[in-house]
Amino acid sequence: MLYPPRRILEDTNAPPKFGSPKDIANAIDELKSAFTGETGAQELVNTKVSTDPDDLHTHGFSENDHFPGMSPSVVIYPSTTEEVATIVRIATKYKVPITVYSGATSLEGHYRAHSTGGICVDMSTMDRIIAIHEEDSDLVCQPGARWMDINEILKEKGIPLFFPIDPAPGATIGGMLSTGCSGTNAVRYGTAKGEWFLNATVVLPSGEVIKTRRRSRKSSAGFDLTKLFIGAEGTLGIVTEVTIRLAPLLPTTVAVVQFPNVQKATEAVADVLNTGVGIQCVELVDDIFIDAINRYGMSARKYPVADSLFFKFQGPTPASLKETAKIVKAVAERHGGTGFQLARTKEDADALWADRKNAHYAGLAIMPGAKGWPTDVCVPVSKLPQLVYETKRDIAAAGLLSTIVGHVGDGNFHALILFKTDEERERTKALVSRMVKRAIALDGTCTGEHGVGIGKKEYLVEELGEGTVQLMKTIKKAIDPLGIFNPGKLYPDDSPSQGKPGEDH
């Protein structure tokens, strides 16, 4: 069969019309009978197809963000690619929106259901490691596998490799791919948009199953379709199997150093990276974050309250780590760095790094009872000091409080803005909007690693331009002509003045 079938193509220019409540009810009935299996056993249906209200609520709500909850009509727990294809065919038949859920660590409302409800596909039970190719440094797994579990399993098996993309702890491979995520290791290993996802098996909106690429590390056989699904946030298909590349697990150690200000710290980082020493991570934290860590009470240390850098060094031998520490200390001191501390033992390194990693909970603890609005932006590295300076001034002027933590080697930073009342939440929202516009004005992006979801979609035209966003929509329409894959996420809403496609303006 040619893709896409004509009956779908005919709808290409129509705005999405989703199924009615009756269509959704029919889709659920059909899903139930599809998942009964040959035995017709009701228990099997109940574990695979859920309309339990608590289950629906869990799948349409997140503690991590502040967008209104929106429950799906049904949650399905598939086990195989074929089952996902069945779900997609039924969703297409009844034009029912279809949204994927896995680690639930997203921060921008990515897995909220559509306002008409729809089907939530929970991939968390598709979490198997299918093959480990140690000799090729790659691994094949299902999308619900968690990166931390994968690294733990490799360690248990005595395989000295790891997957270096490190977003939030509970994140799954499928969610990481779909968000185009990264983390503290990006300064050394790059992001999900680099070359860590070798291929993906995807169920397309047509119900067809494709594999984007083979398993060789490189290929120049045309444009790489794997990349199309990285950052597509489930709007172009459902990923059901992934091959990821692994990196050698190397000895590391940790150091911390204080600076007079963010400008000096950022300049030091640029110089450190240019020396070519083994830097696995370099994290900027501001004075407010340090104060939060000191008060949080989980650390044996009391840090000087100043803008600081946490480094994780990596190298093949203890001698190389020592050399790196010596070089970094000298560069830092040339830029006004003080109090350089290198971890004395492995335990000490772990403790230092844990202090950095406690950012979220330490940040929340500085205002008991407050909620935190997490957000991230990214700019060319040299613009980071200006962005941080102006943002901190703006936060203070707005009468709000926020810690700032930055993946400074990439020009990426996170704020966790604290609020208690509805009025403060609105002030926070406005503050985030100004921060995003400031980042875009500095040739940056509305999100370095959290993705667009609901929260950032209004900024895409300002960041990328109308033509670029239209090209994204053209591709979306060609692949998902019914518009049922995670509707309302990523792409900016059409403005009423845009009219219908095909009309001249």
Question: Segment 112-151, which members bind a second copy (CB under 8 A)?
Answer: 133, 135-138
Minimum distance between the CB of residue 37 and a second copy, rounded to whole angstroms? 26
Site string for a second copy, 343-382 (x = CB under 8 A): -----------------------------------xxxxx
Cis peptide before 260 (omega within 30 of 0): no
Inter-helix orientation angle 422-441/384-397, to 10°: 160
Interface with a second copy (CB under 8 A), residue from 185, 308, 314, 375: 314
Which of 34, 305, 367, 464 is in the footprint of a second copy by CB under 8 A?
Answer: 464
* Nearer of residues 203 and 285 to a second copy, judged by Cβ: 203
Smallest CA-to-CA distance from 18 within 120, 122, 121, 118 is with 118
Minimum CB distance to a second copy smaller for 85 or for 90: 85
71: tokens are 């429950």
Structure tokens of 403?
């810690």
- Residue 433 within binding range of a second copy, rule CB under 8 A: no
Of 430 and 478, which CB lies nearer to a second copy in the complex structure? 478
Closest CA to 401 of 431, 379, 378, 422: 431
CB of 291 to a second copy, least distance (A): 28
At 99, give phi and psi (nearest 5°). -130, 145
Asked if 8 interacts with a second copy (CB under 8 A), we say no
Q: How far is the CB of 280 from a second copy (least distance, A)?
A: 10
* Binding flag, residue 320, a second copy (CB under 8 A): yes
Q: Binding a second copy by CB under 8 A: which of 76, 84, 435, 479?
A: 479
Q: Does 2 bind a second copy (CB under 8 A)?
A: yes
Q: Does 82 bind a second copy (CB under 8 A)?
A: no
Tell me the chain's radius of gyration from C-alpha atoms: 24
Name the helix (H) or strand (E) containing 256. Answer: strand 252-258
Determine, following the binding rule CB under 8 A, whether residue 493 of this chain makes contact with a second copy.
no
Q: In what order do the strands lie in the sheet with 49-50?
A: 49-50, 74-76, 119-122, 98-101
Q: For residue 450, state whether it binds a second copy (rule: CB under 8 A).
A: yes
The rounded distance, in Å, linking the Cα atoms of 501 and 505 is 10
Q: Is 445 in the site for a second copy (CB under 8 A)?
A: yes
Q: Shortest Cβ distance from residue 308 to a second copy (Å)?
A: 21
Examine residue 106 and tell whether it contacts a second copy (CB under 8 A): no
Q: Does 448 help bind a second copy (rule: CB under 8 A)?
A: yes
Site for a second copy contains 217 (CB under 8 A): yes
Task: Find out whether 183 and 170 touch, Cβ atoms under 8 Å.
Answer: no
Residue 236 touching a second copy (CB under 8 A)? yes
Regarding 470 and contact with a second copy (CB under 8 A), the answer is yes
User: Do residues 381 and 410 touch, judged by C-beta distance below 8 A?
Assistant: yes
Instruction: Give the dihedral of Cα atoms 163, 141, 174, 125; nearest 10 deg.
Output: -130
Per DSSP bridges, beta strands 129-133 and 412-419 are unpaired
∠ at Cα 391 (389, 392), nearest 5°?
65
CB closer to a second copy, 10 vs 52 = 10
Place of tokens 């209004």: 458
User: Does 215 help bind a second copy (rule: CB under 8 A)?
Assistant: yes
Q: To the nearest whole angstrom, how small is the minimum distance from the Cβ of residue 317 to a second copy?
A: 7
The piece of 95-103, 148-156, 176-184, 336-344 that touches a second copy (CB under 8 A) is 176-184
Beta sheet of 252-258, edge-to-edge order:
338-342, 252-258, 308-314, 279-285, 401-407, 412-419, 371-378
